[in-house]
């Protein structure tokens, strides 16, 4: 029994050594960029708000600013938005220094059913949001769309100004991304990769006409081996042509999208690629040792 206990202890020590080390949160107030902003869906109950704040680890911050997002905000940032829309998904935004890029984390993945980290990120780049840590949460299953509006509001509260034409296009981009994943059966990460690669090609090649945008879309669909029906393909072309016509610094966007593309391709890179092989080898050695005890 003592040997088994020692083996179990060794197992915990080895796995603890193999897993990436967690980083202690910095609880100091950032006097340059401001405190994190927590934006809560207006339709949450008091109990749900507390649940969301717990998931977003609000208590770990030295100080936060709390705001609510409702249907009136939806109308502000999205054309033809419904001011009666119910808002549940919430977010915490922590601004970062220029050049740090976007870090997106859905902290309640079981409750954000349609939108992925990458979908949020690519839409936020379209909207003009960059250099921030964004965490998204909901207390019950929701699609996750309203969190984007909350992110817009929080970003402006932090002192930035967003172009509402860009936020409108970004919302349509998110809608189209979730539509492709839901209705066309395309993997969510593949959808995010498609949108990122098309926008990167637009940023790099600077198409002057809608026909040139259509060519880029066709090339990327073929490259990623994605098939869309004609109606969805046209929706994608129309959206990307709108993005082409936005007042965007495409040189800067190209760099951001390159980082985004790398992030998507290395989605599972947070853990050492050899981690699971080390664990497998450890268990094989452990089982061999345990068997030898009973011979």
Each domain of the chain, given as residue ranges in start order, spans 23-265
The helix, strand and coil proportions of the chain, stated in percent and rounded to the nearest 5, come to: 55, 10, 35
Q: Please state, as a whole number, how many other Cβ atoms lie within 10 Å of the Cβ of residue 183.
A: 10
Averaged confidence pLDDT in the chain: 79
Residue spans of the chain under pLDDT 50 = 1-25, 268-287, 289-295
Q: What is the pLDDT of residue 24?
A: 43
Supply the pLDDT for residue 222.
94
Best CA proximity match to 236, nearest among 163, 179, 168: 179
**Residue 131 structure tokens:** 């250099």
- DSSP codes of every residue in 28-73: S--TTT---EEEEETT--HHHHHHHHHHTTGGGSS--EEEEE-HHH
Residue 32 CB burial class (10 angstroms; 0-12, 13-18, ≥19): exposed
**Structure confidence at residue 45 (pLDDT):** 95
pLDDT by residue (tens digit) across 2-38?
A: 444 344 444 334 434 434 434 344 566 666 767 889 9
Task: Give the C-alpha distances (Å, rounded to integers) separating 247 from 113, 159, 254.
Answer: 32, 20, 14
Sign of the torsion angle spanned by Cα atoms 9, 13, 16, 18: negative
Going by their DSSP bridges, the two strands 65-69 and 90-95 should be labelled as: unpaired
What are the Cα distances from residue 62, in Å, to 29, 184, 197? 6, 45, 39
Closest CA to 66 of 44, 35, 108: 35
Entry pTM = 0.69
The number of C-alpha atoms within 13 Å of 103 and in the hemisphere containing its C-beta is 13
**Cα three-residue angle 226-230-231, rounded to 5 degrees:** 110
Which helix (H) or strand (E) element contains residue 90? Answer: strand 90-95
Segment 123-151, tens digit of pLDDT: 888 888 888 899 999 999 998 888 888 88
């Amino acid at each position: 029994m003592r040997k088994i206990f020692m083996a179990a202890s060794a197992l915990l020590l080895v796995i603890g050594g193999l897993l990436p080390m967690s980083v202690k949160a910095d609880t100091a107030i950032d006097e340059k960029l401001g405190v994190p902003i927590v934006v809560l869906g207006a339709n949450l109950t008091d109990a749900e708000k507390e649940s969301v704040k717990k998931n977003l680890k609000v208590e770990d911050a030295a100080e936060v600013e709390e705001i609510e997002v409702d249907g009136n905000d939806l109308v502000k940032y999205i054309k033809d938005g419904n001011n009666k829309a119910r808002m549940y998904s919430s977010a915490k935004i922590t601004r970062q220094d220029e050049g740090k890029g976007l870090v997106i984390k859905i902290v309640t993945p079981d409750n954000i059913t349609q939108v992925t980290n990458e979908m949020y990120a690519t839409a936020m780049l379209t909207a003009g949001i960059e250099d921030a840590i964004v965490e998204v949460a909901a207390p019950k299953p929701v699609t996750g769309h309203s969190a984007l509006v909350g992110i817009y509001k929080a970003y402006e509260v932090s002192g930035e100004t967003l172009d509402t034409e860009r936020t409108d296009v970004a919302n349509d981009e998110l809608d189209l991304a979730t539509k492709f994943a839901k209705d066309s059966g395309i993997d969510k990460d593949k959808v995010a990769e498609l949108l990122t690669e098309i926008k990167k090609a637009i940023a790099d090649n600077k198409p002057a006409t809608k026909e040139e945008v259509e060519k880029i879309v066709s090339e990327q669909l073929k490259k990623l081996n994605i098939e869309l029906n004609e109606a969805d393909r046209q929706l994608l072309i129309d959206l990307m042509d709108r993005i082409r016509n936005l007042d965007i610094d495409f040189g800067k966007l190209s760099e951001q999208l390159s980082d985004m593309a790398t992030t998507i391709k290395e989605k599972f890179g947070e853990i050492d690629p050899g981690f699971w092989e080390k664990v497998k080898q450890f268990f094989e050695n452990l089982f061999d040792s345990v068997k030898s005890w009973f011979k």
